Amino acid sequence: MIKPHGSDTLNPLLVTDEQQRLQLLDEAQGLPSVVLNSAAAANAVMLGAGYFNPLTGYMNLADSLSVAENLHTSDGLFWPVPVLNLVEDISAISGADRIALRDPNTEGNPIMAIMDVAAIDSVTDTQINMMAEHIFATLDPEHPGVATFTGLGRHLLSGNIQVLSLSYFQADFPGTFRTAGEIRNEIAERGWEKVVAFQTRNPMHRAHEELCRMAMERLDADGVVVHMLLGKLKQGDIPASVRDDCIRKMVELYFPANSVMVTGYGFDMLYAGPREAVLHAVFRQNMGCTHLIVGRDHAGVGDYYGAFDAQTIFDEKVPADALAIEIFNADHTAYSKKLGRVVMMNEAQDHSKDDFILLSGTKVRQMLGDGIAPPPEFSRPEVAQILMDYYQLETA
C-alpha cells in the first residue's frame, strides 16, 4: 500500500488506549484551558485521525509563514496550508506550558485535546494578510475562506497535541466518518491496490458519477473512495446528512458491489482552490489512495480561481518528489445529447455548448425547491427525490 506522507507508517494523534485517555482527561480538568475556534478544532480532528500525518501538532509562526509562502515547513517538510491554532484571548493560559483544548462545536465545550505549549506568538495583521493572500490568492473579504481566516485571532499557539476526542463526527456520522487508519484498513481488507479518491462537498450528480467511473476505468483501479467533507460549509451548501443519503443511494443503485467506499472526514471547508486541492492530495495519500481526481474548479468558490488552477499547481508549484499520490486531471463532465452519454467536454468532438445538458447550481436549486426533478441525464431520479424532499422542507 502507498506510504503515508512524510513517514513510513501512519501516526495518528488520537489516544486510543482507554485507560490512558481517561487519565489524560482527568489531568486536563486541572489544566488551564481555551475554547478553540472551529478551524482549529477541525485541525485537531484531522491531526487526531491521521489525515495530517506526519505533523505532531499545531505549527509555529515561522513554519506557518514558510508553508504559506513556500509550501514547506522550516525543516523542509512539504505542506500546502498552515495548520494553525489562532486564538483571540490568551489571558486564561498565559504562562502555562500544558493546556487543555476545548471543543467549540459540542455542547458544554468538552475537552478535545491536551497541548504542550511550545510557543505563543503574536501575529500581526500584515502576517495574517500575507498568509491569507498566499493561501486564497485574494484578500477579498467577500471570499468565505478569507473572511474566516482573517477573523480567527492574533495569538498563535503552537506545540504537540494528544487528541482525546474527534468532536461530534463519530456520533453524528457513525456510518460515514472514518479516520485515515480506518480507511487504510478497509482498503487492505477489500484487497484494493490502485485506489482513486473523489472529493466532494456536494451531492453527486450524473457527471460526478461518470467521472468516478471514467477514472476507475482509465487507471484500471480496483475501487474509488468517495470522501465527503462533514464539517462546516458556507451558508446555502447542502448539509452533510443529505449529501450522505444522496451518495449512498447512487452507489447502491448504479455501481457494482465492492467498487465504491462511501466515507467522510471532519474538516471545515477552506474554499482555497488550488492550495486546498494540494491539501486534499496530502491527506488522501495518508488514507491510502494512490490517485486523486482533480476536476474543474476543484475546491473553488465564486470566480476567484481559474477553471484548472487546481490542476496546474501540481505541475508548477509541487516538487516532483513531494507526494507519492498521483493526480487524475478531469475536465468538466456533462451529458452529450449527440452521444447519449456523459463525457468530458474537452474530449467531445464537433460539439457546441447547446449539445450538452448544462444546468447552473442556482437553476437546479430552484427546480428542486419547486418540486421539479432535473432531467435524468443530469441527476439520477432517486437522488433528485432526496434533494427535492430536502429543499421543499427548507422552503416550507
Phi, then psi, of 203 in degrees rounded to 5: -60, 160
> What's the whole-number mean pLDDT along residues 60-86?
98
pLDDT for position 363: 84
Angle 345-234-244 (CA atoms, 0-180°, nearest 5)?
70
pLDDT for position 45: 98
Whole-number Å distance between alpha carbons of 44 and 112: 8
Confidence band for 395, pLDDT divided at 50, 70 and 90: low
Domains 18-170 and 179-395 share a fold: no
Topology at the third CATH level for domain 179-395: Rossmann fold (3.40.50)
Give yes or no for residue 114 having a pLDDT over 80: yes
Confidence band for 238, pLDDT divided at 50, 70 and 90: confident
> What's the whole-number mean pLDDT along residues 274-292?
98
Whole-number Å distance between alpha carbons of 330 and 316: 17
The larger pLDDT score, comparing residue 220 to residue 238, is at: 220
Whether 202 sits among the annotated catalytic residues: the reply is: yes
Q: Of residues 21, 202, 213, 248, which has the active-site annotation?
A: 202
Whether 201 sits among the annotated catalytic residues: the reply is: yes
Whole-number Å distance between alpha carbons of 376 and 222: 28
> What's the whole-number mean pLDDT along residues 40-61?
98
Give yes or no for residue 132 having a pLDDT over 90: yes
* pTM for this model (two decimals): 0.95
pLDDT for position 63: 98
144-153, 245-254, 269-278, 344-353: segment of lowest average pLDDT: 344-353
Class of domain 18-170: alpha beta
Mean pLDDT for all residues in the chain: 94
pLDDT in tens, 246-262: 999 999 999 999 999 99
Give yes or no for residue 394 having a pLDDT over 80: no
Confidence band for 169, pLDDT divided at 50, 70 and 90: very high
Burial per residue of 69-79, b for 16 or more beta-carbon CB atoms within 10 angstroms, e otherwise: eebbbeeebbb
- For residues 159 and 93, the answer to whether their CB atoms sit within 8 Å is no
pLDDT in tens, 338-390: 889 899 988 888 998 888 988 877 788 788 888 888 899 899 999 999 999 98
- What does the block give as the cell for 276? 486546498
The dihedral built from the CA positions of residue 145, 146, 151 and 157, taken in this order, carries a sign that is: positive
- What are the helix (H) ranges across the chain? 18-28, 38-48, 61-70, 125-136, 144-149, 169-172, 180-190, 206-219, 240-254, 274-286, 309-316, 361-369, 381-395
- What does the block give as the cell for 347? 474530449
Question: Could you tell me what percent of the chain has a pLDDT over 90?
Answer: 82
Q: Of residues 201, 213, 248, 365, which has the active-site annotation?
A: 201
Q: Domain boundaries in the chain?
A: 18-170, 179-395
pLDDT for position 396: 62
pLDDT in tens, 299-346: 999 999 999 999 999 999 999 999 999 999 998 888 888 889 899 988
